[in-house]
């Protein structure tokens, strides 16, 4: 079991008291591809980031169990966490325009990730960076290595991110909406790249998205979150037989070319879902 | 139905009139400012200063110009709360009247500077093109001088005194406001509502005055408050260098200049006005910082 | 982009010269009376007016002024009877020595303080740093200078008094650069060196405090903004140490803007120097300016103002240029 979450609770202080962003979420992850789906504010990003304890400093976290490969993340000190982050688990964020350091070249950022965890000389790291860029299917890795993030397109930037996070050869990859900022044509490419690399390296993957069909296509299991809670947990192949009304609502309001509908369905939110 | 200006009326999420919306916004800004302890300390200090200055004739029971050469350089006592200066004048009274002068100078400068800066900036920003370039060149020239040095040169050419000091400081203080107003105007200029007003046939003057200037006000207000401390310091510096208020006027900087040589033994004579300048300046800085966090966080 | 900032220099420069000229000629004080005195007979007044070229129309006067300027002639100082340019050259090094020492101290203390305060935002340390910076921007330079003199020189006796060097050592060190500390080192006169250094310490530290207040505040503000960026989360996710993230990533992102701030801080020191030199009797450009003012020596005042304005302009320009050159996003 790579990751184990039991009754995770994340709260934020507001002028009117503590507000719950994630309430009592439990899930487990092995060497598989897990998709977490939900709308904005459902708490999916926070849940995933809590595995590496990368939450904002004012967040109040508590859980019955929050472990990574048996290590208790909640009570771990900074140096233990630093040995997990990067080396054993990586995080890809949504928009490379913001998630890449604007004043460091792509190559330098990847080389840094390599050197911190694997040691070695600067030259070795630079060469490794170029190799990694080739692995993420960049055609001219040397030029990209010397380029700054603002000189790269969205797709290329995400490839750089992926290369950077895979450099230390981790066991788990958390991808937080990795394609939401990209064009539709590039989205599929990037996801296929991630899937390919993850399978070849035998890694676990947590894919966070608001796009249900996308997640069901690329993942083994799907978890649906709503208002800070898990409302459905199902194998990707069984998604069409989902039972929770929210998931059904999501499925039904998708436009499809195969089944003609007179009108698109609108999601009807039932307030009882908030207490489920 | 909640009463006008009651708390419920001010905090409503659905204002029913423009006035209510405006007051609601001001009240919320006030609530946010109130959470900032340092800003509140600044506000209270500024308020005390204003009251003390206005009420100086009442609070100062001694004539600030009355000399008593026999009792000069006396330490603080019951009769003279802050002691007496080199000519035997009561320092406490002089500090109070000095506050009047300082605040008066600051207000005068602001009244000159803010409208001028707003006008130049918003006109330049709105009209663009040649007018913009010319006005910005002029602004740049004035910005090219360090404030104090230019003020000194102006005062030297005019005659040293409070009026010259006010004009000199104003002449060097207006460029940043023009820049600020211009930046705001450029942001607003392309908005749809400006286009709409233009379509109804409003003249440029009307648009600038009634639509653009009100939106530039909040950043200007923040800047004014933050600037006040700088103006106080510059006015005091001019006084200290003998270029501002002239003795026997009890301006704080001037007081320090004339009692400078007594720093060794009767240190309170030059130090107390110094503390007054410091407190005034600090109060405006704290208040300005707080107001900036509430009204215009972009400004650094 | 660079071209446009270069293009604006001549215009701003011209404006500077014009403003200085106008202050000198158009303002109400009659320079002739200043030289001749109130009771001079009319023919003497007329003669002086003609000699100074003040009987010609304004634009001709300006032309003469420009021409003289291009020849490096700023007129003569009534006070010292030397050419103003000579005076300025003589007094400038001391100001340079003072300002440069102050900015170095301010940078060494101010930047780390700002960085650490941003990292510990909201903590007691942060509050102390903020208050200290704010105090530095609220206290008048001359008050701090006087208080320091009082405390360290008079009461505690650990610092020397005013002036660049003790009276006994005056004139011992041959003038090479004009900066006493440097000249003493060059001459190998170590007694003078230590004495000069001791005298430099107080005014430099007072000035440094003001610079530091500004630098710390801007560094802290920039760092807070930088630390809230997404790339910081990425850096944390990479498993980098807090120190590395703080300096290599967060600070690395603001270093360019900070250079601009430093150039402006240095320019601001010129202003501060005017007052500090007056308090500590430091024989620099600032003291020259204020003494000239008290003597109504308009040539000296305007000449010094023009030079200071020029330096200010150059520093601002450098700040702009450095920003464009160093930031990869603007390249």
Q: Does A82 touch chain C (CB under 8 A)?
A: yes
List pLDDT tens digits, range A159-207.
999 999 999 999 999 999 998 889 888 988 999 999 999 999 999 999 9
Of C220, C205, C202, which is closest to residue C113 (Cα–Cα)? C220
Residue pLDDT, tens place only, C273-304: 888 998 888 999 888 988 887 777 777 888 88
Asked if A122 has any chain C CB less than 8 Å from its own CB, the reply is no
- Structure confidence by residue, pLDDT tens digits, C61-107: 778 778 887 777 777 777 777 888 888 888 999 999 999 999 999 99
Distance CA C172, CA C189 (A): 9
Nearest CA in chain B to C137: B282
Subunit partners of chain A (3 or more CB pairs within 8 A): C
pLDDT digits (tens, 9 = 90+) for C220-254: 999 998 999 999 999 999 999 999 999 999 999 99
Interface mutation vs chain C, best among A89, A103, A164, most C CBs within 10 Å: A103
Among the partner-chain residues C146, C221, C312, the one whose CB lies closest to the CB of B270 is C146
B148's CB contacts (< 8 A; 6+ apart) are B234, B237, B238, C271, C274, C275
Is A204 within 8 Å of A30 (Cβ atoms)?
yes
Q: Which residues of C touch B151 (CB under 8 A)?
A: none
User: What is the Cα–Cα distance from A116 to C245, expressed in whole angstroms?
Assistant: 12
Do residue B156 and residue C15 have CB atoms under 8 angstroms apart?
no
The C-alpha angle B57, B58, B64, rounded to 5 degrees, equals: 40
Q: State both tokens at C118.
A: 């941003």
Cα A5 to Cα A47, B102, B284: the distances in Å are: 9, 64, 52
- Taking alpha carbons only, the member of B133, B105, B122 closest to residue B217 is B122
All partners of chain C with 3 or more CB pairs under 8 angstroms: A, B
pLDDT at C207: 94
d(CA C248, CA C236): 12
Which pLDDT score, from 0 to 100, does residue B8 have?
76
Which subunits have 3 or more CB–CB pairs within 8 Å of chain B?
C
Residue from C231, C249, C255, C323 whose CB has the most chain A CBs within 10 Å, to mutate: C231
**Band of the pLDDT at C120, cuts 50, 70, 90?**
very high
Provide the pLDDT for residue C1: 43
pLDDT digits (tens, 9 = 90+) for B74-110: 888 877 888 888 888 888 888 888 899 999 999 999 9
CA distances from B266 to B73, B199, B242, C141 (A): 6, 70, 21, 20
pLDDT digits (tens, 9 = 90+) for B117-138: 998 988 888 888 888 888 888 8
Residue C330 buriedness (CB in 10 A; 0-12 / 13-18 / 19+): exposed
Residue A82's SS3 state is: helix
Residues of A in contact with C233 (CB under 8 A): 54, 91, 93, 99
List phi, psi (to 5°) of A170: -80, 175
Contacts of B158 by beta carbon, 8 Å cutoff, 6+ apart: B164, B167, B168, C27, C28, C29
Mean pLDDT across the stretch B196-207? Answer: 86
Query: Residue C112: what pLDDT?
Result: 96
pLDDT confidence bin for C52, thresholds 50/70/90:
low
Strand ranges inside chain A, DSSP E: 3-14, 17-29, 33-37, 60-62, 65-68, 71-72, 89-92, 172-176, 204-209, 221-226, 229-235
Q: Extract the runs of DSSP E, i.e. beta strands, from chain B.
A: none
What does the alpha-carbon distance between residue A130 and residue B168 come to, in Å, rounded to a whole number?
A: 62
Looking at residue B300, its pLDDT comes to 47
Q: Distance, in angstroms, between B276 CA and closest chain C CA?
A: 10
In angstroms, what separates the C-alpha of C212 from chain B's closest C-alpha? Answer: 16
pLDDT at A158: 95
* Chain C residues touching residue A164 (CB < 8 angstroms): 234, 238
Chain A nearest-CA residue for C245: A101
pLDDT, mean of residues B183-205: 86
Handedness of CA B272, B278, B281, B286 (dihedral sign): negative
Q: Are B243 and B160 in contact (CB under 8 A)?
A: yes
The residue among B171, B153, B158, B163 whose CA lies nearest residue C293 is B153
In this prediction, residues C19-40 reach a mean pLDDT of: 67
Model-level pTM? 0.85
Tokens of A10: 């994340």
CB contact under 8 A, B140 and C278: no
Q: Which residues pair with A224 in a beta bridge?
A: A37, A232
pLDDT at C99: 93
Would you call A112 and C240 a contact, using CB atoms and an 8 Å cutoff? Answer: yes
Give the distance from residue B138's alpha carbon to the nearest chain C alpha carbon, in angstroms.
8
Look at residue B217 and tell me whether its pLDDT is greater than 80.
yes
CA neighbor of B284 nearest in space, from B233, B227, B238, B240: B227
Residues C24 and C302 sit within 8 Å (Cβ to Cβ): yes
Which of C18, C23, C134 lies nearest to residue B153, judging by beta carbons?
Answer: C23
d(CA B123, CA B177) in angstroms, rounded, equals 13
Pick C267's closest partner by Cβ from B146, B237, B241.
B146
Q: What number of other Cβ atoms are within 10 A of residue B67's Cβ? A: 15
Query: Tokens 């026999």, residue?
Result: B70
Q: Write down the pLDDT at residue C4.
A: 56
Average pLDDT over residues A262-272: 79
* C8 contact A CB<8A: no
CB B87 within 8 A of CB B250: no
Q: Please, which residues 139-158 of chain C have a Cβ atom closer than 8 Å to chain A?
A: none
Whole-number pLDDT of residue C260: 81
Q: Is A204 helix (H, G, I), strand (E, B) or coil?
A: strand
CA-based nearest distance B85→chain C, Å: 17
Interchain contact, A161 vs C234, CB within 8 Å: yes
- Calpha distance C246→C235 (Å, rounded): 10
Q: Answer for the pair A197, A75: CB distance below 8 angstroms, yes or no.
A: no
Question: Do residues C267 and C312 make contact, with C-beta atoms less than 8 angstroms apart?
Answer: yes
**Residue entry with tokens 């007496």:** B84
Span C119-146, average pLDDT:
90
> Any chain C CB within 8 A of the CB of A125?
no
Is C234's CB within 8 Å of A99's CB? yes
Q: Which residues pair with A27 in a beta bridge?
A: A5
Give the number of other Cβ atoms within 10 Å of residue C317's Cβ.
Answer: 17
Of the two residues C17 and A159, the one the predictor is more confident about is: A159
Tokens encoding C291: 């003494």
Does residue A54 belong to the interface with chain C, where contact is any CB pair within 8 Å? yes
What would the DSSP string read from start to end of A31-70? SSEEEEE--TTSSHHHHHHHTTT---TT-EEE-SEEEETT
Sign of the dihedral through C-alpha A72, A75, A80, A82: positive
What average pLDDT score do residues C45-57 get? 71
Distance CA B218, CA B233 (A): 24
CA A201 – CA A183 distance, rounded (Å): 27
Closest by Cα among C281, C214, C223, C280 to C252? C223
What residues in C contact A112, CB-CB < 8 Å? 238, 240
On the question of pLDDT at A69 being above 50, the answer is yes
pLDDT at B148: 84
Beta bridge partners of A12: A19
C-alpha C192/C-alpha C198 separation (Å) is 10
User: Which of C224, C232, C239, C327 best tests the A interface by mutation, with the highest count of A CBs <10 A?
Assistant: C239
C134 to each of B146, B182, C34, C221, how far by Cα in Å?
A: 21, 28, 43, 13
Q: Do A85 and C230 touch (CB under 8 A)?
A: no
Which of A145, A117, A132, A142 is closest to A197 using CA atoms? A132
Interchain contact, C328 vs A112, CB within 8 Å: no
Quote the pLDDT of residue C106. Answer: 96
Q: What are phi and psi of B284, to 5 degrees?
A: -65, -35
**How far is B178 from B125, CA to CA, in rounded Å?**
9
Tell me the CA end-to-end span of chain A in Å, nearest whole number.
27
Q: What is the mean pLDDT of residues A45-64?
A: 92
Closest of A109, B213, B87 to residue C237, by C-alpha: A109
Instruction: Give the ipTM of the model, two decimals please.
Output: 0.91
Contacts of A100 in chain C (CB under 8 A): 231, 234
Residues B240-281 have pLDDT tens digits of: 888 888 888 888 998 888 888 887 788 888 888 999 999 999
Pairing of strands A33-37, A221-226: parallel
| Cα–Cα dist C304/C18, whole Å | 15
In whole angstroms, what is the distance from residue A250 CA to residue A266 CA? 9
Return the pLDDT at B296: 67
- DSSP annotation of C76: B
Q: How far apart are CA B288 and CA B265, in angstroms?
A: 37
Structural tokens at position A264: 């698109």
DSSP category for residue B265: T
The closest of C111, C60, C87 to C246, measured between CA atoms, is: C111
Distance CA A223, CA A236 (A): 9
β-strands A3-14, A65-68: how paired?
antiparallel
Compare all CA atoms of chain B with the CA of C276 and give the residue at the minimum distance. B237
CA of C260 to nearest chain A CA: how many angstroms apart? 17
DSSP state of B2: P
Torsion of CA B5, B9, B10, B13, to 10 degrees: -160
Q: How many CA atoms lie within 13 A of B133 on its CB side?
A: 6
Alpha-carbon separation of residue B68 from B64, B250, B256, B266, C208 (angstroms): 11, 16, 19, 16, 41
Inter-chain contacts counted by CB atoms under 8 A, chains A and C: 73
Tell me the pLDDT tens digit for each residue of A73-86: 999 999 999 999 99
Bond before B248 cis per omega within 30 degrees? yes
Distance CA B262, CA B253 (A): 15
Closest CA to A104 of A74, A146, A135: A146
On chain A, the residues whose CB falls within 8 A of the CB of C234 are 91, 93, 99-101, 161, 164
**pLDDT exceeds cutoff 70 at C33:** no
What's the pLDDT tens digit per position in B7-66?
A: 777 777 777 888 888 888 888 888 888 888 888 999 999 999 999 888 888 887 778 778
Whether C110 has a pLDDT exceeding 90, the answer reads: yes
Q: How far apart are CA C185 and CA C324, in angstroms?
A: 38
**C143, C304, C314: best to mutate for the B interface, most B CBs within 10 A:** C143
Q: C328–A150: do the CB atoms touch at under 8 Å? A: yes
């Amino acid at each position: 079991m790579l990751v184990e979450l039991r009754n995770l609770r994340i709260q934020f202080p507001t002028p009117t008291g503590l507000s719950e962003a994630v309430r009592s979420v439990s899930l487990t992850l092995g060497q598989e591809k897990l998709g977490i789906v939900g709308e904005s504010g459902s708490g999916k990003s926070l849940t995933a980031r809590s595995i590496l304890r990368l939450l904002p400093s004012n967040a109040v976290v508590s859980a019955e169990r929050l472990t990574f490969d048996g290590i208790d993340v909640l009570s771990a000190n900074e140096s233990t966490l630093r040995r997990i982050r990067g080396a054993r688990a990586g995080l890809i964020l949504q928009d490379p325009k913001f998630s890449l350091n604007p004043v460091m070249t792509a190559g330098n950022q990847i080389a840094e990730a390599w050197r911190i965890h694997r040691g070695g000389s600067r030259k070795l790291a630079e060469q490794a960076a170029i190799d990694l860029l080739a692995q993420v299917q960049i055609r001219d890795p040397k030029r990209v290595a010397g380029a700054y993030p603002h000189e790269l397109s969205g797709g290329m930037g995400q490839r750089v991110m992926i290369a950077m996070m895979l450099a230390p050869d981790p066991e788990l990859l958390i991808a937080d909406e990795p394609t939401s900022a990209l064009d539709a044509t590039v989205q599929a490419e990037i996801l296929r790249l991630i899937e390919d690399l993850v399978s070849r390296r035998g890694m676990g993957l947590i894919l966070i998205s608001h796009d249900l069909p996308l997640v069901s296509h690329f993942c083994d299991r799907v978890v649906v979150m709503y208002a800070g809670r898990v409302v459905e947990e199902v194998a990707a192949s069984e998604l069409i037989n989902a039972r929770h009304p929210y998931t059904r609502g999501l499925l039904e309001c998708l436009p499809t070319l195969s089944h003609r509908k007179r009108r698109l369905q609108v999601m009807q939110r039932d307030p009882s879902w908030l207490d489920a | 139905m909640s009463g006008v200006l009651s708390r419920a009326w001010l905090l409503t999420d659905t204002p029913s009139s423009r006035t209510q919306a405006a007051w609601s916004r001001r009240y919320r800004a006030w609530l946010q400012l109130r959470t900032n302890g340092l800003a509140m300390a600044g506000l209270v200090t500024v308020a005390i200063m204003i009251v003390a200055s206005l009420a100086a004739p009442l609070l100062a029971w001694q004539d600030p110009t009355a000399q008593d050469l026999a009792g000069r350089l006396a330490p603080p006592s019951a009769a003279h709360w802050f002691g007496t200066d080199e000519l035997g004048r009561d320092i406490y009274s002089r500090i109070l009247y000095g506050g009047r002068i300082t605040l008066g100078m600051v207000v005068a400068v602001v009244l000159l500077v803010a409208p001028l800066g707003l006008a130049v900036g918003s006109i330049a920003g709105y009209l663009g093109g040649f007018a913009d370039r010319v006005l910005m060149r002029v602004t740049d020239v004035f910005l090219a001088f360090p404030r104090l040095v230019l003020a000194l040169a102006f005062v030297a050419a005019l005659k040293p005194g409070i009026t010259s000091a006010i004009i000199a400081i104003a002449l060097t203080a207006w460029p940043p406001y023009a820049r600020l107003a211009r930046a705001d105007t450029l942001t607003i200029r392309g908005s749809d509502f400006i286009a709409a007003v233009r379509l109804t046939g409003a003249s440029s003057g009307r648009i600038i005055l009634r639509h653009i200037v009100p939106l530039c006000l909040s950043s200007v207000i923040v800047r004014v408050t933050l600037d006040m401390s700088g103006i106080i310091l510059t006015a005091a510096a001019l006084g200290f260098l003998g270029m501002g208020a002239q003795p026997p006027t009890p301006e704080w900087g001037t007081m320090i200049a004339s009692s400078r040589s007594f720093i060794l033994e009767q240190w309170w004579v030059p130090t107390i006005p110094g503390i007054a300048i410091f407190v005034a300046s600090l109060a405006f800085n704290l208040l300005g910082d707080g107001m900036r966090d509430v009204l215009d966080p972009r400004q650094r | 982009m660079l071209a446009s900032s270069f293009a604006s220099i001549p215009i701003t420069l011209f404006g500077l010269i014009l403003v200085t000229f106008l202050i000198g000629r158009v303002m109400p004080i009659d320079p002739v009376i200043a030289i001749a005195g109130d009771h001079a007979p009319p023919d003497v007044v007329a003669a002086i007016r003609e000699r100074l070229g003040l009987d010609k129309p304004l634009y001709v006067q300006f032309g003469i002024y420009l021409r003289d300027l291009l020849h490096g002639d700023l007129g003569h100082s009534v006070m010292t009877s030397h050419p103003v340019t000579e005076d300025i050259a003589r007094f400038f090094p001391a100001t340079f020595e003072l300002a440069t020492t102050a900015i170095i101290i301010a940078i060494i203390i101010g930047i780390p303080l700002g960085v650490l305060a941003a990292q510990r935002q909201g903590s007691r340390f942060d509050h102390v740093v903020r208050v200290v910076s704010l105090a530095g921007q609220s206290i008048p330079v001359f008050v701090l200078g006087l208080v320091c003199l009082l405390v360290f020189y008079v009461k505690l006796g650990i610092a020397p008094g005013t002036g660049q060097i003790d009276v006994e050592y005056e004139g011992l060190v041959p003038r090479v650069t004009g900066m006493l500390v440097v000249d003493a080192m060059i001459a190998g006169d170590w007694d003078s060196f230590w004495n000069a250094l001791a005298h430099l310490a107080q005014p430099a530290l007072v000035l440094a405090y003001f610079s530091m207040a500004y630098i710390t505040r801007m560094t802290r503000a920039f760092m807070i903004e930088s630390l809230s960026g997404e790339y910081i989360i990425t850096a944390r996710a990479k498993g980098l140490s807090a120190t590395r993230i703080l300096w290599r990533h967060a600070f690395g992102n603001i270093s360019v803007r900070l250079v601009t701030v430093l150039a402006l801080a240095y320019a601001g020191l010129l202003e501060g120097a005017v007052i500090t030199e007056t308090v500590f009797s430091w024989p620099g450009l600032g003291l020259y300016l204020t003494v000239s003012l008290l003597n109504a020596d308009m040539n000296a005042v305007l000449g010094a103002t023009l030079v200071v304005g020029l330096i200010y302009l150059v520093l601002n320009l450098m700040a702009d240029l450095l920003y464009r050159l160093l930031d990869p996003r603007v390249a």
